[in-house]
């Protein structure tokens, strides 16, 4: 029992007023996305039909390191930001580690995850440009819930295509979106040409992020004043998420420490980018020695076992070609419960950083993530989202190394969300019904070839 401070907050006027665009500081810039027909590098204008213009510019901006957060966005950030930086005394004690473990608690967002950090500016820029309707896809439903709420804040209509199997398995997430007033459609649906094609070719198709992306893009393209939005992978989403690390940097200063290791779980990359990029600028610019670890599922290991190459972001191949670590856009990940990490590719910035050795990646088997989730829940009181359990597991691995070496390393990880809407997966774990998935090399090779 210690009287030392547990949680660190910023006052509202200390909340950062700029996002950090790491592209401006990178020595090796990310390679450009390509038009799949012409193979020409994309210009912002090429993306105008799909995204709000301001977001298209943010996406490809390699000049400006600091992008001002619009005032209305900052006003809504105040609804839950700053999120607490927490010293995990309970977890340290449970492990018996000399390490100092901190986590940034993004689960306190109204939606329960970090996704709102980007949903609000995306909805804002759309509204500013006269857009009235937004579309998106969602798998587990975290992003869909965030966008539904953000759309409501700016008076926009939201239409969400939710992967059909998830729509049926996670009715609570659907209800959350509907409570915020969004229209939710299970994908594939008969409401789009893409959906019809899929359902006539493959009746009873259970849906995937690929089908949902195709439907959401098609709806945006065929509807006046309607834009598409995405919850991860893209560089402008990572940009918005840097509010996490920028706050954490100030809060670590309040705690009188600086992280030796920064950890985030990894799906498309935006949550990892959010916690790590603001610290990484000191590594890039001042040579500060900090390790950055992305924690991905062993069953979807694009960073640890994928290839760096140009690939599509969706199964149907509607998106631009992106230079990224990928398992192939036809890769079908095992049905693990961390739905938010079941994506075949990594964002272009993170891919370049990994290629350049500025960061590391580890893959975590499913059972280890839930074991760690239960340990964390009992020690810190917060039941973590299955996705976030990957970051905690990586942090616990590092903290256990410190037991052996006796080092008081400072470990910071991002708790991207809580698991209160994912209890069915904990239920399965506690009942002994979950398993690890082995992924033979041949499966990855095959997927990359197709």
Give me the residues that bind a copy of itself (CB under 8 A), please: 1-3, 5-7, 9, 12, 71-72, 75, 78-80, 86, 90, 108, 110-112, 116, 149, 152-153, 171-176, 178-181, 373-374, 377-378, 380-383, 420-421, 423-424, 426-427, 430
Using the minimum distance from each CB to a copy of itself, give the nearer residue, 21 or 241.
241
| Strand partners of residue 297 | 364
Q: Is the peptide bond before 188 cis (omega within 30 degrees of 0)?
A: yes
- Whole-number minimum distance, CB 132 to a copy of itself, in Å? 17
Nearest Cα neighbor of 258 from 284, 285, 293, 289 is 289
- Whole-number minimum distance, CB 337 to a copy of itself, in Å? 12
- Whole-number minimum distance, CB 369 to a copy of itself, in Å? 13
- Whole-number minimum distance, CB 90 to a copy of itself, in Å? 8
Using the minimum distance from each CB to a copy of itself, give the nearer residue, 193 or 378.
378
Using the minimum distance from each CB to a copy of itself, give the nearer residue, 41 or 171.
171
- Whole-number minimum distance, CB 171 to a copy of itself, in Å? 6
Using the minimum distance from each CB to a copy of itself, give the nearer residue, 15 or 361.
15
- Whole-number minimum distance, CB 355 to a copy of itself, in Å? 38
Using the minimum distance from each CB to a copy of itself, give the nearer residue, 166 or 235.
166
Using the minimum distance from each CB to a copy of itself, give the nearer residue, 178 or 206.
178
- Whole-number minimum distance, CB 8 to a copy of itself, in Å? 9
Using the minimum distance from each CB to a copy of itself, give the nearer residue, 177 or 348.
177
Q: Is the peptide bond before 82 cis (omega within 30 degrees of 0)?
A: yes
Using the minimum distance from each CB to a copy of itself, give the nearer residue, 31 or 379.
379
- Whole-number minimum distance, CB 121 to a copy of itself, in Å? 14
Per-residue 3-state assignment (H helix, E strand, C coil) for the chain: CCCCCCEECCCHHHCCCEEECHHHCCCCCCCCCECCCCCCECCHHHHCCCCCHHHHHHHHCCCCCEEECCHHHHHHHCCCCCCCEEECHHHHHHHCCCCEEEEEEHHHCCCCECCHHHHHHHHHHHHHCCCCEEEEEECCCHHHHHHHHHHHHCCCEEEEEEEHHHHHHCHHHHHHHHHCCCEEEEECCCCCHHHHHHHHHCCCCCCCHHHHHHHHHHHHHCCCCEEECCCCCCHHHHHHHHHHHHHHHHHHHHHCCCCCEEEEECCCCHHHHHHHHHHHHHHHHHCCCCEEEEEEECCCCHHHHCEEEEEECCCCCCCCEEEEEECCCCCCCCCCCCHHHCCCECCHHHHHHHHCCCCEEEEECHHHHHHHHHHHHHHHCCCECHHHHHHHHHHHHHHHHHHHHCCCCEEEEEECEECCCCHHHHHHHHCCCCCCCCCCHHHHHHHHHC
Using the minimum distance from each CB to a copy of itself, give the nearer residue, 35 or 178.
178
Write the burial class of residue 365 (CB in 10 Å: 0-12 exposed, 13-18 middle, 19+ buried).
Answer: middle
- Whole-number minimum distance, CB 329 to a copy of itself, in Å? 33
Q: How far apart are CA 194 and CA 185, in angstroms?
A: 14
- Whole-number minimum distance, CB 114 to a copy of itself, in Å? 14
Using the minimum distance from each CB to a copy of itself, give the nearer residue, 134 or 194.
134
């Amino acid at each position: 029992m210690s009287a030392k401070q547990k949680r660190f907050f910023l006052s509202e006027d200390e909340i950062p007023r700029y996002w950090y665009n790491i592209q401006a500081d990178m020595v090796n810039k990310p390679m450009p996305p390509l038009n799949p027909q012409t193979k020409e590098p994309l210009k912002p204008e090429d993306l105008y039909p799909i995204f709000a213009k301001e977001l298209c510019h943010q996406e490809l901006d390699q000049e400006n390191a600091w992008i001002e957060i619009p005032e209305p966005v900052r006003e809504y950030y105040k609804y839950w930001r700053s999120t607490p930086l927490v010293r995990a005394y309970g977890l340290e004690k449970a492990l018996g580690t000399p390490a100092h473990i901190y986590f940034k608690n993004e689960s306190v967002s109204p939606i329960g995850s970090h996704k709102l950090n980007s949903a609000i500016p995306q909805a804002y820029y759309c509204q500013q440009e006269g857009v009235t309707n937004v579309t998106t896809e969602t798998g587990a439903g975290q992003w869909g819930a965030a966008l539904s709420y953000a759309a409501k804040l700016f008076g926009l209509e939201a239409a969400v295509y939710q992967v059909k199997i998830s729509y049926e398995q996670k009715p609570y997430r659907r209800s959350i979106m509907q409570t915020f007033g969004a229209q939710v459609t299970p994908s594939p649906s008969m409401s789009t040409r893409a959906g019809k094609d899929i359902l006539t070719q493959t009746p009873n198709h259970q849906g995937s992020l690929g089908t949902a992306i195709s439907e959401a893009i098609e709806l945006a393209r065929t509807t006046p004043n309607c834009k598409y939005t995405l919850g991860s992978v893209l560089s402008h989403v990572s940009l918005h998420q840097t509010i996490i690390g920028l706050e954490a940097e100030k809060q670590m200063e309040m705690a009188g420490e600086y992280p030796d290791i920064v950890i985030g779980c990894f799906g498309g990359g935006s949550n990892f980018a959010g916690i790590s990029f603001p610290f990484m600028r000191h590594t890039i610019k001042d040579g500060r020695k900090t390790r950055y670890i992305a924690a991905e599922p062993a069953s979807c290991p694009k960073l640890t076992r994928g290839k760096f190459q140009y690939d599509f972001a969706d199964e149907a191949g509607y998106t631009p070609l992106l230079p990224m670590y990928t398992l192939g856009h036809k890769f079908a990940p095992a049905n693990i419960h961390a739905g938010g990490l079941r994506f075949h590719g990594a964002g272009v910035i993170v891919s370049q950083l990994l290629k350049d050795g500025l960061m590391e990646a580890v893959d975590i088997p499913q059972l280890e993530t839930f074991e760690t989730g239960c340990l964390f829940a009992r020690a810190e009181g917060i039941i973590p989202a299955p996705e976030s359990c990957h970051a905690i597991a990586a942090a616990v691995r590092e903290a256990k190394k410190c037991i052996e070496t006796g080092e008081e390393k400072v470990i910071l990880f991002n708790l991207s969300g809580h698991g209160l809407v994912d209890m069915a997966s904990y239920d399965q774990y506690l009942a002994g019904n979950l398993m690890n998935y082995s992924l033979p090399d041949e499966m990855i090779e095959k997927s990359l070839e197709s």
